[in-house]
Structure 1
Amino acid sequence: MATAALHYAAAAASDRGRKRANNQDAFGFSIEHGIYVVCDGMGGAAGGEIASSIAVDEVLQVLTARDPSAPIPKVAEDAVCTANNAVYARSQRNANLSGMGTTLVALVVEQSTVWVFNVGDSRCYRLRNGKLEQLTLDHSLVEEQVRLGRMSKHEAQRSPLRNVITRAVGTQNCVTPDCFQFEAQPGDLFLLCSDGLTRELPDAEIQERLGGDDPLQERTDRLVEAANKAGGRDNITCIVVQARV
């Protein structure tokens, strides 16, 4: 029996939070092309805003113009390299932007096949049958220590080094993303988010607020509002993507 074709719906929200003067997050998506991107910039002056904006634009452009026969992992790597080169070159031209960079997490969907790729500690989650699962691995100092068994999850959450990331777009002349492939099922929800959400809300609360039957935009706004109520110490950005028949 043939499997019913999936299509996708999406909603997004971004907020500077309660402590930051500006929003260094950026996001973009094209439902038509099945591309969704969240970036969390870093750098003095306007560096973070510029880095995240460049990265989103470059990744969307490369993925939108991709050859349909090209394998997505290769295209994803090309897109990240293009974004990295653009951010790095911009930082080299302006001393005020030196050292700027950005995290990146992206989702590409083609029917029931889903690819997720990331650099840094912005994350992708999947909510399936009420259960939330993190699909990406953080490129951060503490999370790598947790994976090596040298630090507990609890210690990582309290560590003064929890903001240190080990991979970013634009800070070096080359960077490689992780890329993962999954099969989507009807009803699956994918959440792309910056760490302004995950630093404020535990996974159990994200799971609770993401679930239910409310419109996607209400659920997305609810996550941002909850992160602000929990402290809002960083910029908060979410894209929620749902697979439907």
Structure 2
Amino acid sequence: MSRTDSGAATHVGRRPNNEDSYCQRSDLGLFAVADGLGGHEGGEVASQLVLRTVADFLSAQQGQQVPGTPSEGEPANGPESLIVQAVRQAHQEVRAQQSGKLSMMASTITAVLLRDGEAVVCNLGDSRTFLVRGGVLRRLTRDHTVLAEMEEAGLDTKNPFAAMHRNSLTGAVGMEASVEIECKHVSLQAGDVLVLCSDGLYEPVPPAVMVPLLEQGGSAQEMAERLVAEAYNRGGTDNITGIVVRIL
């Protein structure tokens, strides 16, 4: 497992409560951010439930893992298979508790599972993971939103419909009867920085601002706090959450 320095920060922003959650489990090589939806109570419950279920699943599997490779023939206990199974279980947990005030709850997730110098990066919804290497930021995840689907289809996104639905999700944990999380494998090297965050962070802090903030240095915790503070100072109204993982 890669040696890392990680840090996380969250802020309620200008909302009445914080529906974001984060998970830092360096013992599992797991880092994840979840942004809940479904009302005042539902979003908070959903994001916490998703990350707790994923972490518990991976913890239960620890010691039974073998190194996975980015191929269709990856073993059932390879890292990609494990994180996919974990999110599917979280999906079932959320669905099982959708009643009353929690009937509309669901959550995004962006997660990184580190194994042997490689990251399996997974995403469902519009929380994102970025890689910063040599001063260049690369986005590793694809949003599951109406706007993103319109962009991919080459449709006009400067009309009122697109503006109205720019943050409307087309996928989230617990949102549909089935769930398909997207994963990719990324080779890592010393000096790389991974940033996992909710939309409350990356919307007010674009890459041109994010990279210089990270390059100010310090610990991963200081970097995470710096990013979250900048998002709030730039007028961010949503909940703001970020994890920074430095590869040593």
TM-score, normalization by structure 1: 0.91
Q: How do residues 197-236 of structure 1 correspond to structure 2 at under 5 angstroms?
A: 197-236=201-240
Contact 1:12 1:239 (8 Å CA) reproduced:
yes
SS of 2:108's partner is: strand
Greater CA drift, 123-132 or 67-76 = 67-76
User: Counterpart in 2 of 1:68?
Assistant: 65
In structure 1, distance between residues paired with 2:100 and 2:168: 22
- Secondary structure at the aligned position of 1:55 is classed as helix
SS at match of 1:74: helix
SS in 2 for 1:192: strand
Corresponding residue number in structure 2 for 1:122: 127
Letter of the 2:9 partner, please give it.
A
2: distance between equivalents of 1:151 and 1:223? 32
- 2:8 corresponds to: 12
Instruction: Report how far residue 155 of structure 1 moved.
Output: 7.3
Any residues of structure 2 matched to 1:120-159 within 5 Å, and which?
120-151=125-156, 159=163
Percent of counterpart pairs with the same letter?
34
Is the contact between residue 12 and residue 240 of structure 1 (CA under 8 Å) also seen in structure 2? yes
Residue from 36, 39, 43 that aligns with 1:41 = 36
Deviations for 1:133-192, whole angstroms, at most 9, x for unmatched residues? 10000011101211222246x779x82211101000012232110000010010000000
Judge conservation of contact 1:141–1:162 (CA < 8 Å) in 2.
yes
Q: Which amino acid aligns with 1:47?
A: G
For residue 102 of structure 2, what is the aligned residue in structure 1? 97
The Cα offsets for residues 28-61 of structure 1, whole Å up to 9 and x where unpaired, read as 1211211111100001230000000000000111
CA distance in 2, matches of 1:142, 1:126: 23
Contact persistence 2:5–2:219 (CA under 8 A): no
Q: 4+ residue stretches of structure 1 with deviation over 6 A?
A: none
Cα-Cα RMSD: 1.7
Distance 2:151 2:58 in 1: 33
Distance 2:211 2:149 in 1: 24
**Matched residue of 1:159: which SS?**
helix
How far apart are 1:121 and its partner, in Å?
0.3
Paired with 1:202 and 1:100, the residues of 2 have a C-alpha distance of: 28
> Alignment partner for residue 175 of structure 2, among 171, 177, 184?
171
Aligned counterparts of 2:50 and 2:142: Cα–Cα separation in 1 = 20
Is 1:86 the equivalent of 2:93? yes
Question: Structure 1: which 5+ residue stretches go unaligned?
Answer: none
Measure the CA separation in 2 of the matches of 1:207 and 1:162.
25
Count of residues paired in the alignment: 235
Tell me whether 1:57 sits opposite 2:62 in the alignment. no
1:213 Cα offset (Å):
2.3
